[in-house]
Amino acid sequence: MTATPETLRRTALYDEHVALGARLVPFGGFEMPVQYAGILKEHDAVRQRAGIFDLSHMAQFELVGEGVADWADSLTTNAVGTMKPYQARYNLFCNERGGTHDDVLFYRLANRWLLVANASNAAKMWAHLKAHNERPDVRLESRHGQAALIAVQGPKAVEIVAPLCGGAASSAAELKYYFCAEGSVDGTPAVVARTGYTGEDGFELFVDGAEAARLWRRLLEVGKSYGLEPAGLGARDMLRLEAGMPLYGFELDEELSPLAGGQQWAVKMNKPAFVGKEALAAQLAADDYHRIAGFVLEGRVPARTGYPVFSGGERVGEVRSASIAPSYGNRNIGTALLPKTAIAVGTPLEIEIRGARHVAQVVSLPFYKRER
């Protein structure tokens, strides 16, 4: 007997992707566009003009009640209680061993919070949140698959999106990075957030699934004269790697702590208690954990996830993410999990590719930083 293949879900924008000629692949339980015109073209559109992404596969949880900040602070590494209204903040959930359960974004709205989790972790996170909530003053609701999320990213994103924003979001162009407003976009109720995952300026727009396709088409139409193009998960992965941002399953996982994954800045050890704190304190004290570093290869042969990494002739680690990097001189870059002794910038490395060792070296993250 063969296992029944898992039925893939579709976002509210599925028909739009098909109409645009997207190549669809399974991702996080959804059928998602990995590319439209081509990953390199889409990457360049985002860096030079703007790209529009469907992120509706990501899990959206709504948290309501007086106790949300306190409760969330007991489960996460970064501070939630200090968030101002309409602020957004990156955060991580750990397991008791300090490994990462998920990396997420919190958005604080007027009377509720949005928690956006990775699609691949949606079921796991929903179970985790429910299992850890016995408080009457915290109510949880999953909007996964109903609510849509559209991102417009790139230097032209503000010019494209801001004029369509209304209500409390009407001054979207003045929104600070990692802040949001609750208003409308082209007449559709929306949370407009100055957030993203590409290393570019831009917006993420939370709208109801029923309105998503109309808004998507409108944004493409308005954005046409600015060179806006639909961009898929392939371009998104390349953009986030260049920008030094971790991707769950690669730089972070149940075995890799936020410290190992390079997210120490988002671990607040001065919080009284949170899941995984003791384990992270022990890791910090011992300071002997393997950690993520950036590397660049000499030559034109790309690295891939899982390739062995050598330092001083010894096998010391493995490649976690890798790509060609148009915003880093078209060189082959990546991240590797390495011992503390091999992460200093300039450390010579060798990466084994089909049996041959290729020269690489440790470089600082991020690979790409936009000019502000």
Partner 1 sequence: MAQPEGLLFSKEHEWLKIDGDVGTIGITDYAQNSLGDIVYVELPRVGHEIKQFSSIGVVESVKAVSDLFTPISGEVIEVNGGLETDPALVNRDAFGAGWLYKVRIKGLNEKSALLSPSDYDALIAEAAH
Cβ neighbour number for residue 183 with a 10 Å cutoff: 18
- Per DSSP, the three-state class of 70 is helix
Place of tokens 């998602």: 32
Tokens standing for 42? 């889409």
Residue 165: name the closest of 155, 153, 175, 154 by CA. 175
> Considering the complex, what minimum distance in angstroms separates the CB of residue 161 from partner 1?
28
C-alpha span between 223 and 218 (Å, rounded): 8
- Choose one: 90-98, 241-249, 301-309, 341-349; the region binding partner 1 (CB under 8 A): 301-309
> Considering the complex, what minimum distance in angstroms separates the CB of residue 332 from partner 1?
8
Within 333-372, the residues that bind partner 1 by CB under 8 A are: 354
Cα distances from 207 to residues 86, 212, 223, in angstroms, run 16, 6, 18
Closest CB to partner 1 among residues 147, 233: 233
Sign of CA dihedral 54, 58, 59, 60: negative
> Considering the complex, what minimum distance in angstroms separates the CB of residue 34 from partner 1?
7
- Choose one: 166-174, 205-213, 300-308, 364-372; the region binding partner 1 (CB under 8 A): 300-308
When binding is defined by CB under 8 A, the residue of 12, 13, 32, 39 that contacts partner 1 is: 39
Closest CB to partner 1 among residues 38, 81: 38
- Choose one: 1-9, 195-203, 295-303, 339-347; the region binding partner 1 (CB under 8 A): 295-303
> Considering the complex, what minimum distance in angstroms separates the CB of residue 142 from partner 1?
31
When asked if residue 123 is in the footprint of partner 1 (CB under 8 A), the reply is no
Question: Is beta strand 202-208 parallel, antiparallel or unpaired with respect to 188-193?
Answer: antiparallel
When asked if residue 296 is in the footprint of partner 1 (CB under 8 A), the reply is no
Closest CB to partner 1 among residues 186, 350: 350
When asked if residue 308 is in the footprint of partner 1 (CB under 8 A), the reply is no
C-alpha span between 370 and 362 (Å, rounded): 21
> Considering the complex, what minimum distance in angstroms separates the CB of residue 301 from partner 1?
6
Q: 101-115 in b/e burial notation, b at 16+ Cβ within 10 A?
A: bbbbbbbbbeeebbb
Q: How many residues bind partner 1 (CB under 8 A)?
A: 15
Distance of CA 223 to the CA centre of its chain: 24
26: which strand partners?
31
When binding is defined by CB under 8 A, the residue of 8, 20, 24, 34 that contacts partner 1 is: 34
When binding is defined by CB under 8 A, the residue of 65, 196, 234, 262 that contacts partner 1 is: 234
What length is written for the chain? 372
When asked if residue 19 is in the footprint of partner 1 (CB under 8 A), the reply is no
> Considering the complex, what minimum distance in angstroms separates the CB of residue 324 from partner 1?
5
- Per DSSP, the three-state class of 193 is strand
Residues that bind partner 1 in the complex, under the rule CB under 8 A: 23, 34-35, 38-40, 234, 238, 300-302, 304, 323-324, 354
